[in-house]
Amino acid sequence: MHFAICSSHFSYLNTTNFPPFITLLFNLSLFPLFSSAFFPPFKRKEETMVVHSQSAALDHCSLIKTCKPTTSVFKGIPVVDLRDPEAKNLIVKACEEYGFFKLVNHGVPMEFFTRLEAEALKFFNLPQSDKDKAGLPDPFGYGFKKIGSNGDVGWVEYLLLNTNPQITSLKSLTVFRETPEIFRSAVNDYIQAVKRMTFEVVELLADGLKIEPRDALSRLLRDEKSDSCFRLNHYPPCPELQALGGRNLIGFGEHTDPQIISVLRSNNTSGLQICLRDKTWVSVPPDQTSFFINVGDALQVMTNGRLRSVRHRVLAESMRSRVSMIYFGGPPLSEKIAPLASLMAKGEESLYEEFTWWEYKTSAYKSRLGDYRLGLFEKKLVVLQANDSNIKFPPFLVKQVL
């Protein structure tokens, strides 16, 4: 059985005679719900749109969240020129204030962007039955709408691939068996170029933070057992958004990235938003020639909270599709994640319990996209009573006060 959707990229049911809202209901009930974003999700008080499937074989609901429109475009995004002599200090400042910045003059050829984007669109424009041959995600492979295994969905389809040739997954190989060799070549060229650039970025970050040794971060990404991955996201246009009464449809729900660092590039379609420290959501103007760099949860822990992972999301567009490509730089599974000794002041204690990347990744799989996943690994706070008020302090501060 076929269901209507908002784009010619997928299966069809003629709903031209239906009122817009009824059409949207059909659209949001598209199945099957192929899966799995590598990164698990978070709990959020956004309004949820519940759409019941008409399929007898799939007797459950498709849930896609909506949110209030955000009118503010963030014009204060830090911009770092990779060739600027002050780049190391600018990167640190941006990561401390926002956990996010735009990188220009990065040295990755534009032709790598355009070639990969063209090949990705060729794949996403294939008949649904052809794309399904690359799924279900494990977590690698092709997924549609379903993000993780805990009930999160969005207006998105994607390919998730392993970037480490030493541990290439069977699903990654399946994806390339189902696509022309030119696609594999475009993916490999892009990933190799972005990796080299990312190593340079994290080494500049280490310089700016005065981390010793300089390769304390980059060696984890260079490691032959590095658990890094690469994601291609496609957000089809959804013309029926007008039926939502001014609300926005969530393409990919709010979350932080669990790895050390994320490197995103997209086409010129808007949709990306970040959450500022005052909890305000702002739109990030697209720039198809630049990269956007995110601090991940692991880097937040390794800097003992000095750098904060940035919460972000993507909203669906009504008329234009959005294509994004993200390299997630992660450490080996056995790597212990804890604050770096060279960043710790005398007497300073860790805000986090030590854990391995495997432990954090496993915990993340069990969470929702909007959950604060680091909360499970934060050290317990000690409560002191002062003037009838309970004040919470990390244990190391309590020791210093007492």
Provide CB contacts within 8 A for 117, sequence distance 6+: 267, 323, 325
User: Is there a contact between 229 and 163 (Cβ–Cβ < 8 Å)?
Assistant: yes
Pairing of strands 261-266, 152-162: unpaired
Question: What single string gives the DSSP state of each residue in 259-276?
Answer: SSEEEEEE-S---EEEE-
Q: Catalytic residues, which ones?
A: 322
Place of tokens 């050290």: 379
Assigned token pair, 291: 């990269």
35, with CB counted inside 10 A (0-12, 13-18, 19+), is: buried
Question: Burial letters for 37-55: b for 16+ Cβ neighbours within 10 Å, e otherwise?
Answer: bbbbbbebebeebebebee
| CA separation for the pair 269, 322 (Å, rounded) | 5
Sheet of 229-235: strands edge to edge? Answer: 79-81, 100-104, 291-295, 261-266, 322-329, 229-235, 152-162, 141-147
Assigned token pair, 257: 């990235």
Give the number of other Cβ atoms within 10 Å of residue 140's Cβ: 25
User: Is there a contact between 351 and 379 (Cβ–Cβ < 8 Å)?
Assistant: yes
